[in-house]
Amino acid sequence: MKSAIILAGGMGKRMKSVKPKVLHEVLFKPMIEWVYDAAIKAGIEKICVVTGYNREMVEAQINGRADCVWQSEQLGTGDAAMRAMDFVRTLNDEDDVLILCGDAPLVSSGTISEAYNKAHCGNKNDVTVFTAILSDPTGYGRIINDSKNDDVITDIREEKDATDVERQIKEINGGSYWMKVKAFKMLLPTLKNNNGANEYYLTDIIKSANENGMKAGRYLSGDAGELEGANDRAQLLSLNEHARDMLFTKHMLNGVSIIDKSGITIGPDAVIDSDTVILPGTILRGKCVIGTGCVIGPNTLLENAILGDGVTVNSSQIYSSKIGSGTRVGPFSYIRPDCVVGEKVKIGDFVELKNSTLGDGTSVSHLTYIGDSDFGKKINVGCGTVTVNYDGRKKYRTKVGDNAFIGCNTNLVAPVKIGTGAYTAAGSTITVDVPENSLAIARERQTIKTDWMIKTRENNKDVPASENI
């Protein structure tokens, strides 16, 4: 069985935030969630998260999906890993445990699996460290290889403790490890804090492994970017940019067109089918699912939205809602959570939907609010229509049958039902159910007062023009 420990206790002082470092987001997703998802996708069965600074926030994010232990003092990565010893004691000695950094979010499930199969098991290592080659290794621990075999590691030297010669080494410690459970139990208690920072370095297990007759090896990653972490906002921006380009490449290889990268951000959990076009200014957050042949953007925000095939969304926002195939949205539409919109629907400019359903072929062209409502198929909704769903205490639903026609500037005062094929006259306030195939007129008869304006002007002739409006 494969298990994992995620080190997530750091405060991240340079972030200058009340949030723990691992909760800062890359493409709208907390860094620890990237790491957790990669571990699960790689087949990890049990996970322990080591918390520290503001642990309640991290535990709330994990929300029972993993064991959590607390590192009460920040005494180094070795001490953090030691906090998981009780978790490791529940594992079999011949099992393997993965140690990941919660602030290095881009490590992929493929890299985790390849490091395990190719390096850890393939070379029969007791400990395997993830490494990379950097042109500028400043700030990273350096890998000290065996002189006869580069795949065997004798030590990792932290930069602050390295010699001038060792600082010239380009291969760096990526911060993640595969270990035999037996090696973890034996080596972690041997760590000492006799270094410049008086901390327990997890990197010291490599030297300890060699001293105790165990084999320490490496997995040299082909993508150093996967092992990058973030200690401040500038590095967090760098991670966002790297992840953004990585996801652009993935989607384009899957047949998605990105005409111009300007202002486009696609979250890691978005699923986009082929022949869809993403235009500038588009933001996809959360678990968006977009069908084939769609055009999204420009200047559009989707969050947890599900779109069918051939959907167009222009300069609009859609949250936690489902949009049927062939539907057009926008410009300047706002679809709030819990809406279900059918196929070949038209939702035009300055239309707002909230907790409502629209049947196939319905048209809501402009300047309309539909909330807490169920509209059927092939309904025409005139400009300025409002469902009056709130009486100050409770909200009520409006129901409109198929093939109805709602005239411009109609107020539908919920709870009210408009029957199939019914018609409301423009400017009506509907408070009573309208039977099917009926016409409802709810407005006063027009009254004309001849010469009213002449008399009004005479009565106000001494009032300045600015006040006579």
Catalytic positions, written as ranges = 366
Contact 309, 327 (CB under 8 A): no
Q: What is the DSSP string of 197-230?
A: T----GGGHHHHHHHTT--EEEEE-S-GGGG---
- On the CB side of 376, how many CA atoms lie within 13 Å of its CA? 16
Q: Are 373 and 397 in contact (CB under 8 A)?
A: yes
Question: 160 and 189 in contact (C-beta within 8 Å)?
Answer: no
Could you give the CA distance from residue 333 to residue 301 in angstroms, rounded to a whole number? 11
Q: What single-letter DSSP state applies at residue 28? A: T
- Return phi, psi of residue 57, to 5°: -70, -40
Phi-psi region of 146 (alpha: psi -120 to 50; beta: other; left: phi over 0): beta
In 318-459, which residue ranges form alpha helices assigned H by DSSP? 452-459
Residue with tokens 């991670």: 239
First-to-final CA distance of the chain: 80
DSSP SS3 for 351:
strand
SS3 15: helix
Question: Could you tell me which of 349, 302, 350, 298 has the C-alpha nearest to residue 322?
Answer: 302
Q: What is the C-alpha separation between 3 and 49, in angstroms, rounded?
A: 11
Buried b (16+ CB within 10 A) or exposed e, 334-370: bbbeebbbbbbbbbbbbbbbbbbbbbbbbbbbbbbbb
Listed in sequence order, the residues at least 6 apart from 288 whose beta carbon sits closer than 8 Å to its beta carbon are: 267, 269, 270, 271, 272, 302, 303, 304, 305, 306, 307
* Distance of alpha carbon 131 from alpha carbon 162, whole angstroms: 17
**Helix-helix angle 55-62:31-41, to 10 degrees:** 40
Are 400 and 376 in contact by the 8 Å Cβ rule? The answer is yes
Q: Cβ atoms within 10 A of the Cβ of 5, count? A: 28
- CB count in 10 Å sphere of residue 92: 9
Tell me which DSSP letter residue 115 carries.
Answer: I
d(CA 315, CA 331): 5
